[in-house]
Amino acid sequence: MKLRENLLTIEDLYVKAQDNLILKGVSLEINLGEIHALMGPNGSGKSTFANVIMGNPGYSIESGKIFFHGEEITNLPPDERAKRGVFLAFQHPESIEGVKVHQFLRMAMQSRRNKDVSVLEARIELNDWMKKLKMDPDFQKRSLNDGFSGGEKKKHEILQLALLSPALALLDETDSGLDIDALKVVADGFNLVKKENTDLGALIITHYQRLFDLITPDIVHLIIDGHIVEKGGPELVNEIDKNGYDKWLTRV
């Protein structure tokens, strides 16, 4: 069996936010093509972990290292991480009135590819992916996230994921606030992107089991109070859904 190339390595990460220690010695590895799940109760450090990987300056790394494709990126700014292929789908995406979706996506494509992308080229790719994702073509003419429903914001982030073709996708509570129909649309979109980019690695962060009825993770991590206390396969999702977190709360 061929070993997969390492994509992301987190080594013994300690992280503070506003003088509070949030992550307490977290280590994790993701290989090319793997889908990882990160689950845990509120306040356990899930969103902090995603933001630190992306380089959010609101968090302070006290110790530990982050490697991406074998290169240390611990101190790189977010834009440099994005150019290298790290993508974060936010839990609550920002709205920007006056910036059209197609304008934003073309600028993002140029930054990711480090070259000019013509209006025609961007439009062709955008229309192609909107058709695949079953999105209304008029969506691209709207202001970025302005007046979008929760489902529309999440669909837009899947559209970004498709067009930017990152190496690593961090999906931070993408299922938050979605009804079952919107959840299925988002999950189907992710699965389609993954099918076309089989090397895409992903870390999917959620409280709930229901997303993993639609997206099957290879490896599941459980984080409580800033510690990863368990690692397993999809069966761990089922155990958490059935019994909750009580079993692990005494381990930290």
Q: The CATH number of the domain where 213 resides is what?
A: 3.40.50.300
Q: Does the residue 150 lie in any domain? A: no
The number of distinct structural domains making up the chain is 1
According to the model, what pLDDT value does residue 1 have? 42
Per residue in 173-198, pLDDT (tens digit) is 877 777 888 888 889 999 999 999 99
Distances from the Cα of 97 to the Cαs of 7, 108, 126, 189, in angstroms? 36, 17, 20, 26
Q: Does the residue 81 lie in any domain? A: yes
Q: Does the residue 138 lie in any domain? A: no
Structure tokens, 202 = 């992903």
Q: Does the residue 144 lie in any domain? A: no
Q: Does the residue 179 lie in any domain? A: yes
According to the model, what pLDDT value does residue 91 have? 64
**Structural domain for 41, as ranges:** 6-95+167-183+200-249
According to the model, what pLDDT value does residue 2 have? 47
Burial code of 154-176, b = ≥16 C-beta within 10 A, e = fewer? Answer: bbbbbbbbbbbbbbbbbbbbbbb
Q: Strand, coil or helix: what is 186?
A: helix
pTM, two decimal places: 0.91
Q: Which residues contact 199 (CB under 8 A, 6 or more apart)?
A: 32, 33, 167
Nearest CA-CA partner of 65 in 52, 77, 56: 52
Q: Does the residue 125 lie in any domain? A: no
CA distance 60 to 16: 5
